[in-house]
Amino acid sequence: MSDEKVIAVLGATGAQGGGLARAILDDPDGGFTVRALTRNPDSEAAKALRERGAEVVAADLDDEASLVAAFAGAHGVFGVTNYWEVFSVEREQAQAANIARASVRAGVRHVIWSTLEDTRKWISLDDDRMPTLAEQYKVPHFDSKGEADGSFAEAGAPTTYLATAFFWENLFQMLQPGEDGVLDLAVPMGDARLPGIAAKDVGLTAYGVFKRGDELIGSRVGIAGEHLRLAEMAATLSEVLGQEVRYVDVPPDVFRSFGFPGADDMGNMFQFKHDFEEDYVGARDLTVVRSLNPDLQTFEDWARANKDRFQI
Ligand SMILES: NC(=O)c1ccc[n+]([C@@H]2O[C@H](COP(=O)([O-])OP(=O)(O)OC[C@H]3O[C@@H](n4cnc5c(N)ncnc54)[C@H](OP(=O)(O)O)[C@@H]3O)[C@@H](O)[C@H]2O)c1
């Protein structure tokens, strides 16, 4: 029998889990194998993983029993939920609790939970610097995951809490031509640093956490690739894209009124990162991340490798 450790990867057809699945597949002598979990084992993304050697297994975050079956015999579980698909804190938290309980029921040795800050620990609901959303949250897609950390502790799941950061891939959609034709990058961050990361590096860093063994169980690991000011990011993009990119420091209220689904949540998120810059940046130690993932990309490296993906 093979003594390779199976990692059951939720979100394997997506950005974070896909990065982890490929990191394991790219390291065939690393001692780990991938079990890619998906609702749809016949999708193109699932087929591509199977062709690369991953075991592909059906599972649904809304169905705890399907997770218990899919986790059976696995050493590790990578747990991620997709708030932007469900748009519901209650549903995302129920999914997180399913991951936690199913991991314990299946006897998994190490869980990585992809999480974010519960911003209400910094800004109380009655603080009117930013609006309260859905009566109970400041940044619903953050608060939801941060509060769900408690489900892992409650279930007794051996968990590493991986606090992620802004994916630079968001920038593909964020550049908009202004009236003069210059590409505007409108974000309410003032002169504050924005921890950001290539989505691929979330997976590579999670792989580094599994490779550490038990060392980081019970710990919180904040990750980022770099902590850059928006003006610095705009300057790098201008150079790489060969076209001027201009940082526009819009007020948070203006960003919240942009009208796309979740604009209020995202506006509050950037305001939180701006107002609590020291804590938010301080929770993501680049030296620790590099020790887990020596190939961690800089923003410039990432932008050069991905410049054809910008919608401009
Ligand atoms: N964008 C950012 O800057 C950023 C930064 C930090 C954190 N995040 C968080 O990242 C999360 C999304 O992660 P991502 O970007 O890696 O995902 P993604 O690329 O949007 O893909 C979503 C993944 O989730 C899986 N999934 C969704 N619902 C499922 C269900 N009911 N059962 C099983 N699998 C399910 C999908 O699998 P199938 O469709 O194959 O079933 C897919 O693999 C969000 O919660 C967001 O808040 C985003």
SS3 content of the chain, % helix, strand, coil (to 5): 45, 20, 35
pLDDT recorded at residue 199: 98
CB atoms within 10 A of CB 1: 3
Percent of the chain topping pLDDT 70: 100
Per-residue pLDDT band at 57 (split at 50, 70, 90): very high
Distance 144 CA to ligand 1 centre (A): 14
Per-residue pLDDT band at 182 (split at 50, 70, 90): very high
pLDDT recorded at residue 150: 98
Distance 92 CA to ligand 1 centre (A): 11
Q: Which atom of ligand 1 is nearest to the CA of 62?
A: 31
pLDDT recorded at residue 226: 98
Residues with CB under 6 A from ligand 1: 10-11, 13-17, 38-40, 43, 59-62, 80-85, 141, 164, 166-167, 170
pLDDT recorded at residue 99: 99
Per-residue pLDDT band at 311 (split at 50, 70, 90): confident
Q: Determine the average pLDDT of the residues in 191-218.
A: 98
Q: Which atom of ligand 1 is nearest to the CA of 13?
A: 43
pLDDT recorded at residue 253: 98
Q: pTM of whole model > 0.95?
A: yes
Write the single-letter amino acid at 274. Answer: H
DSSP string, 125-187: TT-TTS--BTTTBSSHHHHHHHHHHHHHHHHT--EEEEE--EEGGGHHHHEEE-TTSPEEEE-
Distance 168 CA to ligand 1 centre (A): 15
Write the single-letter amino acid at 11. Answer: G
Per-residue pLDDT band at 312 (split at 50, 70, 90): confident
**Residues with Cβ < 8 Å from 159, sequence gap 6 or more?**
100, 111, 112, 113, 152, 153, 217, 218
> Tokens in use for 36?
């890619």
Question: Distance between CA atoms of 92 and 85, rounded to whole angstroms?
Answer: 9
Q: Which atom of ligand 1 is nearest to the CA of 83?
A: 45
Chain length of the chain = 312
Residue pair 164/115 in contact by the 8 Å Cβ criterion: yes
pLDDT recorded at residue 203: 98
Question: Distance between CA atoms of 16 and 206, rounded to whole angstroms?
Answer: 9
Q: Determine the average pLDDT of the residues in 255-271.
A: 97
In this structure, which residue's CA is closest to atom 29 in ligand 1? 61
Give yes or no for residue 1 having a pLDDT over 80. Answer: no
Distance 66 CA to ligand 1 centre (A): 18
> Tokens in use for 233?
């990011």
Give yes or no for residue 19 having a pLDDT over 90. Answer: yes
Give yes or no for residue 176 having a pLDDT over 70. Answer: yes
pLDDT recorded at residue 111: 99
pLDDT recorded at residue 254: 98
- Computed over every residue of the chain, the mean pLDDT equals 97
> Tokens in use for 192?
């504050």
Q: Determine the average pLDDT of the residues in 88-106.
A: 98
Question: Distance between CA atoms of 291 and 302, rounded to whole angstroms?
Answer: 19
